Amino acid sequence: MPRLRQRLSSPRRVESFSDAVFAISATLLVLDLGIPRDHYLTRILADWPGFVAYLAAFLTIASIWLHHHTLFSRIHRIDAGLVVTNLGLLLGVAVLPWPTALLAASLRDGDRDDQVVAVAVYGIVSLVVAGSWAALSGTLSRRPGLLQSAADQFWMRANFRTVLWTTLPVVAAVPLAIVAPVGSLGLYVAVPIFFLVLSSRPTEPDTDISHSG
């Protein structure tokens, strides 16, 4: 068995497997959007929480993918511990369509108690994702041998602190669910949007000036 723990050197296949899980999970979410039987306009408008939950989950997976992409571009080689931690992250992402469907159903049909349960379940899955993410980021910040350069080590430490800060609103959203489920859902939409808008600002010219036309 120990013999299996070797040669996991290149991150290429871990990236492509992770990308596939991210893409499938983000696309399977669409199966949670129901087809009304009649009075389409009224029913579609009334089902707005389902669309908000869909958007929250899609944007969450999109921002995880973006962050994963950035993180792995700095990895030189990968070891088995990182691969297994990454599988924990993938478990959280793969299961995400379920709390999303639960959340949408509770905001459409459930009573207050059901809504609190649904947002809390969504929050727990988000915490699994955030926890795996923190573990991945923390391991990399302590293992310079896995990175491409010394600058990457500095980056990883700064990134680890950012990850810990980003976990705060995810944790805060769980108790908020008891007071205001819709407000908690709003937080789950706001976090990835905030992240994606920040990430989409133009790259500083000094990071790659070799092809500035």
Q: Tell me which residues in 31-70 interact with a second copy (CB under 8 A).
A: 31, 33, 35, 37-41, 44, 54, 58, 62, 65-67, 69-70
125 is a site residue for a second copy (CB under 8 A): no
> Smallest distance, Å, CB 189 to a second copy?
13
162 is a site residue for a second copy (CB under 8 A): yes
Query: Site for a second copy (CB under 8 A): which residue of 26, 107, 174, 191?
Result: 26
Query: Site for a second copy (CB under 8 A): which residue of 46, 172, 178, 196?
Result: 196
> Smallest distance, Å, CB 46 to a second copy?
13
For residues 100 and 53, the answer to whether their CB atoms sit within 8 Å is yes
Tokens 């700095």, residue located: 74
For residues 177 and 120, the answer to whether their CB atoms sit within 8 Å is yes
Question: What's phi and psi for 75, nearest 5 deg?
Answer: -90, 130
Query: Site for a second copy (CB under 8 A): which residue of 136, 140, 147, 187?
Result: 147
Between the alpha carbon of residue 213 and those of residues 41, 103, 117, the distances in Å are 49, 48, 54
Q: Total binding residues for a second copy by CB under 8 A?
A: 99
Between the alpha carbon of residue 100 and those of residues 105, 153, 179, the distances in Å are 9, 36, 19
Rounded-to-integer distance, Cα 176 and Cα 136, Å: 27
> Smallest distance, Å, CB 105 to a second copy?
5
84 is a site residue for a second copy (CB under 8 A): yes
Query: Site for a second copy (CB under 8 A): which residue of 131, 138, 144, 186?
Result: 144
134 is a site residue for a second copy (CB under 8 A): no
Q: How many CA atoms lie within 13 A of 30 on its CB side?
A: 4
Rounded-to-integer distance, Cα 17 and Cα 32, Å: 24
179 is a site residue for a second copy (CB under 8 A): no
